[in-house]
A and B are shown apart, each in its own frame.
Chain A
Amino acid sequence: MSNLAENIIPDQEPKIVIRNIGRTFHIKKSPAGPHDFVALQEISLEVQKGEFVALVGPSGCGKSTLLDILAGLAKPNSGAVFIDGKQVTGPALDRGIVLQGYALFPWRTVRQNVEFGLEIKKVAKGERREISTRFIDLVGLKGFEDRFPHELSGGMKQRVAIARALAYDPEVLLMDEPFAAVDAQTRETLQDELLRIWEETRKTIIFVTHSIEEAVFLADRVAVLTANPGTVREIVPIDLPRPRQNSDIRSSPEFGWTRHKIWELLQNQPPADHRAGEQRPVADAISPSAAL
């Protein structure tokens, strides 16, 4: 049970505070007639500086909606998000986003894509070049600077998207199923790379995925979301040793237990009225590994 303390009592002011977020969509056209659809309800989460938090949940539970709110691209109907104690009111360069579809600008080369945020930030040309060179190296794309996106593989495109989000030096990286579109092998490589980059840059990362395995492999904590309405079911600390990249940690029994625990949480979703207000003790979530 020794791992409990560090996860429950934060030793510093949290980097990100998500407080009672609610988001309702007004559906005008549906067979059931116009109605309000609650996508997110009372979402609360605190993320420490430099922490890696994964969000898992079934499709449609509001993960992307939550990430949009964190990015400042959408406004919550209730609640608020604070970064370093300051309320988020819109998009800004202190957060970088990486999306599933790469979203590279097809008319820009790798270098020009990576420099996009720097142009918006009005960084001088010489410095831009220096920074883009550094981040292209960081994601392992040296030699591909002048390629266009359509000349790259899916994995390479995603590296460019990561380099682009890192280049303007945001403190928080928001990633929405970034590796969902690449094949399994590339995916594992990218996960290793991401952990290495995270350790080198010490960014705070919120990582959305629908792969339990990915969440367990990457994160310090995994927030398990449930659908209709989207709420945080439980926050599971992942007590696996680091560095995890380039290791066979995936085949360790601890990894298996943790993965199974999250899988169970996602399977046995309690009825809606049971959930409200109840937060299960974290100890439950990690009991298999604690028993070891």
Chain B
Amino acid sequence: MFDKIDTIKTHLLRWSGVVVFLLLWEAAPRLGWLDAQFAPPFSTVLGAIHELAADGSLAKHLVISIWRGVTGLLVATLVAIPAGFLLGLRLPVWAAVLDPFLRVLSQVNPFSLMPVFILFFGIGETAKIVVIAWVSLWPILFYTITAVRNVDPLLLKTARSLGITTGELYLKVILPASLPVIFVGLRIGAGLVFFMIVAAEMLGANAGLGWLVHNSAMNYQTPRIYAGATFIVILGYLLNRFLLALERAFFSGEQEQVDLVPARRSSAPSWRPGWRSAAAAASVIFVFLLAGGREVYLSNLANASLGGHLGHQEEAGEANVEYTCPMHPFIVREKPDVCPLCGMRLVRKSDAAHGAGH
């Protein structure tokens, strides 16, 4: 009984914080506490969201950003878990030697690595996926290494006494025993995905929530910045809740772990997916990846042809002036600005390579 009241109380408290925040957001610009130019009231942002939803572009941005986020996370997982097994179990010396280096890499501000990514992967879809995969890779890798090394030695001993092969030991004992800890790393990695989506979609994107934020900023459409940012926050929150729910379902006997890995955990699953539900989940993800990939492809395609038209016909005249960065010629803006990559002032494109090109 008390429990129930307590839960209701906790929920009220938690959500009342959000409500107060939204009220303040609405009131502050209206009362002149904040400059409405930079912080438009919540209702104005809602208006912008409504506008975006009405013409269907919001759905498109959502699908495209989720596609990039999920793909990046999948790539990170597929690289980090085998790498974690390899470093944690097969190459302990390498792991010890590489450890400081990997720590440094994982600490490097991913934004400052953008030029390197561009150098290696250009500004296409690959670069965006790589940027996202890069940030989520590290927690998954480190948690995997810790997990595979801390499997209960009694379990290993029991399995080994059966003359089990190494492959079976990995698949049937070490992987399932480490899964609860690996999953925590996965959840932390997933938390960084939407954090990086703005950066990723700065790289020559033409759709997606990150692009929406970025493009709106370039065009001084402040309410749309907040609209995009709101959805990025919501997506991040939902993904976290989803993964937490999965974690509880699989490893329910465990307490919620935020970022500490105890040496040994009493993993106690209440439910493990059978082959059928795992296959069902995999096919849902697969279908989404296909559908989202198609959306991304179409969007890239449409933009390529649209860009051509804009340049030659509709925007002919004074609007034809474009600004570009002398260091990063693929950065093109319709208004004077600084380069998002290096911070240099953009120069008129017609003054630079543009004239020669046409």
Contact = CB atoms under 8 A, between A and B. Distances in A.
B163 A150 contact: no
Nearest to B168: A120
**Interface residues of B toward A: which range?**
20 to 34
Most chain A CB atoms below 10 A, which of B163, B168, B176, B266: B163
Interface stretch (A29-37, A89-97, A251-259): A89-97
A148 B269 contact: yes
A117 B162 CA distance: 7
Interface string B85-124: 0000000000000000000000000000000000000000
B157 A73 contact: yes
A106 B268 contact: yes
A103 B266 contact: no
A141 interface: no
Given A148-B269, A150-B266, A107 B154 contact: no
B257 interface: no
Interface residues of A, number: 27
B160 A106 contact: no
B78 interface: no
A126 to B, nearest CB: 17
Contacts of A99: 154, 157-158
Contacts of A119: 172
Contacts, number: 65
A25 interface: no
B272 A120 contact: no
Contact of B163 (A91, A103, A105): A91
B173 A105 contact: yes
B311 interface: no
Given A105-B155, A106-B269, 12 more contacts: A71-B161, A95-B161, A97-B161, A103-B157, A106-B268, A107-B176, A107-B267, A107-B272, A120-B168, A148-B270, A149-B268, A168-B162
Interface of A: 68, 71-73, 90-93, 95-97, 99, 101-103, 105-107, 116-117, 119-121, 148-150, 168
15 contacts: A91-B160, A92-B163, A93-B162, A95-B161, A97-B161, A101-B152, A102-B154, A103-B154, A105-B155, A106-B177, A106-B266, A107-B176, A107-B177, A120-B162, A120-B168
Interface of B: 152, 154-155, 157-164, 168, 172-173, 176-177, 179, 253, 266-270, 272
